[in-house]
Amino acid sequence: MRSLAEEWECDASNATWIVDRLERAGLAERQSLPNDRRVKLVVLTAKGVKTKAALHQEFHAPPAELFELDRSDLETLAALLKRLGPKSRTGK
């Protein structure tokens, strides 16, 4: 849990809570290492792998409303989004 907490930049108790919920949903499971039973690995179940792939695909799919915009509107939107890029957040 410590490694996950470091990766996720949270407290180990939060990582434990998340993994517990993933286990209850059948998306992940804890497994012991064969050479060190004190260490637990968290691995996705088959359901977890399938769910992750579906979420990843959905995350990268553009909203249907974008397909309704004409080229001019898309260019305007792109210009506005570019203005909101990293430079605008850092003040540079």
Q: For the segment 25-36, what is each residue's pLDDT rounded down to a tens digit?
A: 999 999 988 888
Q: For the segment 58-84, what is each residue's pLDDT rounded down to a tens digit?
A: 999 999 999 999 999 999 999 999 999
| Average pLDDT of the segment spanning 36-41 | 86
Domain positions in the chain: 1-44, 46-84
Verdict on whether the full-model pTM lies above 0.75: no
Q: What is the pLDDT of residue 91?
A: 53
Closest CA to 51 of 25, 31, 29, 30: 25
